[in-house]
Amino acid sequence: MKPVYILNDNMITSLGFTTAENILAIKKGTIGIRTVNDPLLYPNPVPVSIVNDDLLNERLGEALADHHKTSPSDAFTRLEKFFIISIHDVLKNSPVEKGDPRTLLVISTTKGNIDLLEDRFKSKFSHKRLYLWELGRVIQQFFGFVNMPVIVSNACISGVLAIIISARFLQSGAFDHAVVAGGDIATEFVISGFQSFQALSPDPCKPFDLNRTGLSLGEGCGSIVLSIHPDTSRTPLVRVSGASVSNDANHISGPSRTGEELSWAINQAMEQARVSPREISYISAHGTATLFNDEMESKALENCELSNVPVNSFKGYWGHTLGAAGIIESVATISTLRSNYLYRSAGFDTLGVPSPLRVITTNRPGEVNACLKTASGFGGCNAAIIYQKD
């Protein structure tokens, strides 16, 4: 099977607008989740990781100027601004031509421009903008991609699944390059929904910890350029070497009791990558910090004989960013791989899951050659992907 390489990446969270800014913040131990008292987001104060609006508009201005666009910044929704800044950054230093018919654009989002349901936006944007394909079209046209974007909306695995679908389309020979971008914003729509589930933690989330009390929401966007042509000027080369998706067939809003379906996806991904559990040197888990998700993941990793591998969840830094999560956490995973440097799992202190896990408690150097990224979500879906140095 053709190798698919990672050429370039970007991520936007409350911690920064580029991969480098985010990684620097993580190294310093900065937590982006803060208690926000904003009645436009929720009637009561709620911990959430929010991207600063002034900085967002400043970065958008730079992207618009670079593209010689005269459109005013308020021509775009908040989420469209995220996508424009992220994709602009990732294309800046990449050999990929947007206008090339061999380039595919794949967009991942769970809720798209859902804020446009709020009365305050009704006069500003047309109803059509609520449709995810219209969001895709705005982004496609802004950059001049020739192919209609593929849009993936598959709950919390959307981001990982978008990368998997892109890699598969590249491997099948249909395209040479893919720009995969995923984003979601924090809205009252989503916060009120998770709050109704009593799934939100009153404090910044603590994945895998004994005292975890639920998840924290966040907003963000990430982009990755994939290609069948390696960029030999940037070493080490990193590629997608295996991937799989499964369904629990158990419950629409709760994970599998045994974790066996996530295990199956992980085993399939490892088999495809031709790596054994012993060759996996790092795991970037989904780690939402809900009671049942983290329990399920620990069981799944034990089933796969991966309990002894260093593992973290990046959600302790910027919360659960939904359709962005799989992309930005993959970007942080790829950074771990490139730099041979493992990051602490923020919020973690004492192990509180039924199966053993080796959660990373301090930032430290560590040889990383093959790593596993997982995701699980509502609807019972699971995804696993292996990133590997060439």
Q: Interface residues with another protein (CB under 8 A)? A: 1, 43, 110-112, 114, 117, 119, 130-134, 136-137, 148, 150-155, 161, 165, 168-169, 171-174, 188-189, 192-197, 244-253, 261, 264, 268, 377-381
- Residue 267 or 281 with smaller CB distance to another protein: 267
In DSSP terms, which residues pair with 39 in a beta bridge? none
How many whole angstroms separate alpha carbon 192 and alpha carbon 210?
Answer: 26
**Main-chain phi, psi angles of 4, to 5 degrees:** -120, 120
Nearer to another protein, 53 or 271 (CB): 271
Toward another protein, which CB reaches closer, 58 or 271? 271
Question: Which C-beta is closer to another protein: that of 254 or that of 366?
Answer: 254
Residue type, 60: L
CA 106 to chain centre: 13
Residue 221 in contact with residue 18, Cβ under 8 Å?
no
Alpha helix (H) ranges present in the chain?
Answer: 19-28, 53-66, 78-92, 132-143, 158-171, 188-196, 260-273, 291-303, 315-318, 325-339
Closest CA to 278 of 308, 251, 248: 308
Pick from 210, 181, 215: which is nearest to 318 by CA? 215
Rounded Cα gap, residues 22 and 169, in angstroms: 29
**In whole angstroms, how close is the CB of 306 to another protein at the nearest point?**
19
- Nearest approach, Cβ of residue 179 and another protein (Å): 17
Q: Which is nearer to another protein, 8 or 244 (CB)?
A: 244
User: Shortest approach of another protein to residue 276 CB, angstroms?
Assistant: 20
* In the complex, least distance from residue 121 CB atom to another protein, rounded to whole angstroms: 12
Using the minimum distance from each CB to another protein, give the nearer residue, 134 or 279.
134
Pairing of β 4-12 and β 358-359: unpaired
Rounded least distance, CB 131 to another protein, Å: 6
Minimum distance from CB of 64 to another protein (Å)? Answer: 26
Q: What is the dihedral of CA 265, 198, 330, 380, to 10 degrees?
A: 20
